[in-house]
């Protein structure tokens, strides 16, 4: 964390070269020449929207980054907070709450969208997006803590394969899930490393056992007919955000993100929730209104019995004193994230950030008030936010922690990725397959020596094979 704070200004200058943050104009003569010119980088992830602000001295907010959505649609501001002149404060805009038809993941409910979770008769359906990296890492370290790995007859470690297979089968067994995919990180660095060279630099190297397991996991999932989505230059979180937005905006579908990661809180909405493996929802809630979200299964034992605990927009609001989920991006940006080496703003902690955002709405409002009033009583916090370093760090960190929901990669757009028809994310074309799951069952049992997963797969195929066409059987 200290190292991250020490290099944040250097990172800000590097980010300026990518068009993410424009540094302060050092003198009036340079300003008269047109201000800072963002230098085009030698390489840029090609499927992220590339627009850079030019010709002004300012620290841009979310929309000023070339790697952010042009139209976030989630209530986040695209205002500019000046760093060289108080006059620029006129650009500050208050946080705009989510509209009434907001559904989550930066999308609104399309007109005429169906309320049918099962997808019967052309209904919207329920899309499950699994954070595959979290499943793999949790599986590996879980088995490591036991100290007794699962080995096949050849002595090969199949612990991760076993856990991933059962985790995915638990999702496929959910009655209302009509579409599914597992999302994984690709090899190499991402556009976030282009913004901030020390992004995740504090993490130890990935264990070689995990590196060896990932290709085997992908092969297993593909043989099981489960779609696997990866994309070079971005993270699995961005793939999940993009597919979630498409599912909601194009179909009015419900989306369950299967992950324990709090970063996904920013995607929550009436039609987007988390399923947290072995997690918990907000313990302070005394009762749950089943009409408060679109899933209607909050207390279903089918979820908790499989170790998948729903965490909804309502949970988030209850836990974070009424904040919009979209504001959680600014919480993360100001607090920072030690696990990803995101420095945050010095002096702003996990209790202070929500209070500031509750009062001032967004980072822009916090910075504006820190510079123009004494309303922020904590002198250290006020001084940090008012400084050029603090503001630059806040906006840079927001660019790092914001999950992208509008990646324009062809592989994530139609016709390459669809929700209906052969090759789509629809489970009715995959589970059960034409042979009623016999070949995959044999592969799991004899090929991978995962007998319990094979039995569970066969039961799943029998269950889904007995469903009435277009929906669930009674």
* CA distance linking residue 368 with residue 471, whole number of Å: 53
pLDDT band for 474, please (50, 70, 90 cuts): very low
State the pLDDT at residue 130: 98
405 closest CA partner among 295, 214, 264: 264
The side-by-side arrangement of strands in the sheet containing 126-131 is: 228-229, 179-183, 126-131, 254-258, 272-277, 308-311
- How far CA 404 is from CA of 32, 106, 107, 130, 457, in Å, comes to 35, 9, 12, 16, 33
For the chain, the residue count is: 474
Enumerate the β-bridge partners of residue 258.
130, 275
Weakest-pLDDT range from 127-131, 302-306, 444-448: 302-306
Whether the pLDDT of residue 452 is over 70: the answer is yes
Whether the pLDDT of residue 207 is over 50: the answer is yes
Residue 237 main-chain phi, psi, to 5 deg: -60, -40
Residue pair 182/229 in contact (Cβ under 8 Å)? The answer is: yes
Enumerate the β-bridge partners of residue 131.
183
State the pLDDT at residue 465: 84
pLDDT band for 171, please (50, 70, 90 cuts): very high
Write out pLDDT tens, residues 258-316. Answer: 999 999 999 999 999 999 987 666 654 545 555 556 786 766 666 767 788 899 999 99
State the pLDDT at residue 292: 55
Write out pLDDT tens, residues 83-111. Answer: 333 334 445 667 888 899 999 999 999 88
pLDDT band for 131, please (50, 70, 90 cuts): very high
Enumerate the β-bridge partners of residue 108.
102
Average pLDDT over residues 168-179: 94
Burial readout 237-260 (b: 16 or more C-beta within 10 A, e: otherwise): bbbbbbbbbbbbbebbbbbbbbbb
Residue pair 432/172 in contact (Cβ under 8 Å)? The answer is: no
Enumerate the β-bridge partners of residue 436.
none
311 versus 56: the higher-pLDDT residue is 311
Mean pLDDT across the chain: 80
Q: Mind giving me the DSSP string for 386-399?
A: HSHHHHHHHHHHHH
Beta-strand pair 254-258/272-277 = parallel
């Amino acid at each position: 964390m200290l190292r991250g704070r020490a290099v944040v200004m250097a990172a800000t200058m590097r980010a300026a070269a990518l068009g993410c943050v424009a540094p302060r104009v050092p003198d009036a003569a340079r300003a008269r020449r047109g201000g800072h010119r963002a230098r085009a980088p030698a390489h840029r992830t090609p499927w992220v929207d590339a627009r850079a602000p030019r010709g002004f001295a300012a620290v841009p907010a979310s929309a000023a980054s070339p790697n952010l959505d042009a139209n976030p649609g989630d209530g986040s501001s695209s205002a500019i907070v000046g760093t060289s002149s108080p006059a620029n404060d006129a650009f500050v805009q208050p946080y705009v709450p989510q509209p009434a038809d907001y559904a989550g993941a930066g999308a609104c409910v399309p007109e005429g969208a169906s309320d049918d979770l099962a997808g019967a008769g052309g209904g919207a359906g329920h899309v499950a997006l699994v954070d595959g990296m979290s499943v793999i890492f949790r599986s590996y370290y879980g088995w490591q803590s036991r100290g007794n790995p699962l080995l096949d007859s050849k002595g090969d470690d199949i612990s991760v394969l076993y856990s991933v297979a059962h985790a995915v089968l638990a999702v496929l067994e959910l009655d209302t899930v009509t579409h599914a995919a597992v999302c994984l990180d690709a090899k190499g660095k991402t556009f976030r490393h282009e913004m901030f060279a020390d992004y995740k630099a504090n993490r130890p190297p990935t264990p070689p056992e995990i590196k060896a397991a990932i290709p085997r996991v992908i092969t297993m999932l593909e043989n099981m007919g489960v779609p696997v989505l990866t994309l070079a230059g971005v993270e699995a979180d961005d793939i999940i955000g993009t597919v979630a937005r498409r599912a909601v905006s194009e179909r009015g579908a419900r989306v369950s993100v299967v992950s324990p990661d709090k970063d996904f809180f920013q995607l929550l909405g009436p039609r987007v929730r988390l399923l947290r493996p072995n997690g918990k929802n907000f313990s302070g809630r005394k009762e749950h209104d089943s009409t408060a979200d679109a899933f209607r299964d909050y207390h279903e034992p089918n979820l908790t019995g499989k170790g998948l605990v729903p965490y909804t927009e309502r949970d988030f609001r209850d836990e974070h004193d009424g904040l919009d989920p979209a504001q959680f991006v600014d919480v993360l940006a100001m607090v920072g994230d030690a696990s990803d080496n995101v420095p945050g703003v010095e002096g702003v902690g996990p209790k202070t950030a929500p209070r500031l955002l509750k009062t001032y709405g967004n980072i822009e409002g916090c910075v504006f008030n820190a510079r123009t009033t004494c309303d922020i009583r904590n002198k250290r916090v006020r001084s940090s936010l008012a400084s050029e370093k603090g503001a630059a760090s806040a906006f840079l960190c927001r660019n790092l922690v914001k999950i992208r929901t509008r990646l324009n990669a062809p592989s994530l757009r139609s016709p390459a990725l669809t929700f209906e028809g052969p090759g789509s994310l629809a489970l009715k074309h995959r589970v059960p397959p034409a042979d009623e799951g016999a070949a995959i069952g044999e592969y799991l049992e004899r090929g991978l020596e995962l007998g319990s997963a094979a039995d569970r797969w066969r039961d799943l195929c029998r269950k889904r094979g007995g469903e009435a066409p277009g929906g669930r059987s009674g």
